[in-house]
A and B are shown apart, each in its own frame.
Chain A
Amino acid sequence: MYSVKSIDKLIKEFSNLPGIGEKSAQRMAFFISRTSKEYAKRLIEAIREVMEKVKYCSICGSVTQTDPCPICQDKTRDTSIICVVEEPWDIFVFEKAGKFKGLYHVLGGAISPTKGMNPQDLNIRGLMQRVRTNRIREVILATDPNTDGQATALYIAKLLKKRGIRVTRLGMGLPVGGDLEFADEDTLSHALNGRRTM
């Protein structure tokens, strides 16, 4: 079979990216092979910069260039309320909606026992530490509104309630199923206002 070794190598790397199948990986690799040297350089540079400069915030676990992240450092934010999300990009969705003025906590996924994702694999320990050492009034559980997200919320709620902390879950307007990252600003604001105590 006809193949070019260097391109095959690139196809293989691209197909490891989330949501990229073999066909898309092929298209991307052939695009790179024909693109200008300048574009390829910029792409390599952008990847290198992310590798070198982006790290995880030691407080909330989000991706950031400074540690702590700008949100955790922001003195104007309400430090008594924490919104717990599955992934760093969920924060971008909330920030875009602009209604939430508290702090965040990134779990790094959701409990999914059949896929081998257990509570120990998530950044729950960090959350409990924050709750213990800071004056926290409320924790909002903004995990995805699907079964795994619900399992995660139920688990964390149980831990927090034992410590006497008010736990709420995003409510009204947020349909069951789907991923939070697809929420538009209106839906998210509604869900935030309509949050229910767990």
Chain B
Amino acid sequence: MRLYKTDAIVLSDSELGDQDKIITLLSDQYGKIRAVAKGARRLKSRFAPAVQMPSYVNAVLYRSQRIEVDTFNECKINSPFLGIRNDLVRLSYGYYLVELIMKFIRGAETPPFLFDLVLKMLFLLETTPEKSLPVLMRSFELKMLTILGYRPYLAGCVDCHRRIEKSRQVYFSGYEGGILCSSCSRKRVGKLVSYEAIRWMKFFANTPLKKLANMRAGEKIEKELKVIPESYIPHRLGEDVLSYDFIETVQDLEKDGDLEKIID
């Protein structure tokens, strides 16, 4: 294979020498691609406008036998996602989304349905009312984890497999990979969550993203569901998702009270 054409999502870039950039892309057919965009650091580069995270592009790439990175031949923008790039809150979610993909997809293969899911999520990130973004992201995370084979175990206790009854306490363990009953939680580390939160998790895992456009689970539940990005995902990855903090930083900024704390 020498020249090939593919639709792709721009995930990240890094500088290469004085003039060039190495771009990481996600494609459906060719998995994660690393490619040199010649001259992309220059202002009048023909590639620079297209290789901006998280743009959806159509690229013609050259694959050489000798080196492991490809080279851009052409790059057209399908959708620049300016609605994300020009809005701080949406952009903070965009960074997080892109980092999840960067870290979960290691090789040259994208699992079936993942590319479509990411693309759908980007379009929704542009249009979904801001208040529904946390819920939308939780649903995306659960769907992505399902596709990757990392869906949290919610049918019963991970340890003893007993069904969780509504009247009993439920624990969620990022480390163990799902819920724990109250007796197993004594020997395993878990976080107390409400029965409702578990029901919402199941709902978000199974409901199409676009149906969540005006959804809220309520402040209490949404806070509980943060165990997914804050504990479950880092445990599956074996590392932190750095940009998660930025979502929180931006949320703090939105609230007036925290302004002085940030500045002083």
Contact = CB atoms under 8 A, between A and B. Distances in A.
Interface of A: 18-19, 21, 111, 113-116, 118-120, 124-125, 128, 145-147, 150-151, 154-155, 158-159, 162, 174-180, 182-183, 187
Interface residues of B, number: 43
A175 B262 contact: no
Contact of B15 (A19, A145, A155): A19
Interface string B33-55: 00000001111110111111110
A122 to B, nearest CB: 12
Interface string B86-116: 1110011001101100100000000000000
Given A182-B41, A187-B43, A114 B102 contact: yes
Contacts, number: 98
A118 B85 contact: no
Centre residue among A150, A162, A174, A179 by max chain B CB count within 10 A: A179
Contacts of A145: 43
A154 B88 contact: yes
A119 B262 contact: yes
B95 to A, nearest CB: 4
Interface of B: 12, 15-18, 40-45, 47-54, 80, 85-88, 91-92, 95-96, 98-99, 102, 242-243, 245-246, 249-250, 253, 256, 259, 262-264
Given A119-B249, A147-B53, A178-B45, A154 B91 contact: yes
A125 B243 contact: no
A178 B42 contact: yes
B243 A113 contact: yes
Nearest to B98: A114
Given A111-B246, A116-B242, A158-B253, A128 B43 contact: no
Centre residue among A125, A154, A174 by max chain B CB count within 10 A: A154
Contacts of B253: 155, 158-159
Centre residue among A19, A147, A179, A182 by max chain B CB count within 10 A: A147
B99 A179 contact: no
B259 A159 contact: yes
Contacts of A119: 249, 262
A12 B5 CA distance: 39
A178 B48 contact: yes
A71 B47 CA distance: 35
Contacts of B18: 19
A133 to B, nearest CB: 12
A151 B88 CA distance: 6
Contacts of A174: 43
Please name the 8 residue pairs, one residue from A and one from B, whose CB atoms are nearest each other, closest first.
A177-B48, A113-B243, A113-B246, A178-B43, A154-B88, A176-B49, A178-B48, A113-B95
Nearest to A18: B15
Contacts of B256: 162
Given A113-B245, A187-B43, A177 B51 contact: yes
A118 B246 contact: yes
A180 B91 CA distance: 21
11 contacts: A111-B246, A113-B245, A114-B95, A125-B263, A154-B88, A154-B91, A158-B253, A175-B48, A176-B49, A177-B43, A182-B42
Contacts of B86: 150, 154
B242 A176 contact: no
Contacts of A155: 88, 250, 253
Given A124-B263, A176-B48, A176-B80, 10 more contacts: A114-B98, A125-B263, A154-B86, A154-B91, A155-B250, A158-B253, A175-B44, A176-B52, A178-B42, A182-B43
Given A114-B242, A116-B242, A147 B52 contact: yes
A151 B102 CA distance: 19
Contacts of B259: 159, 162
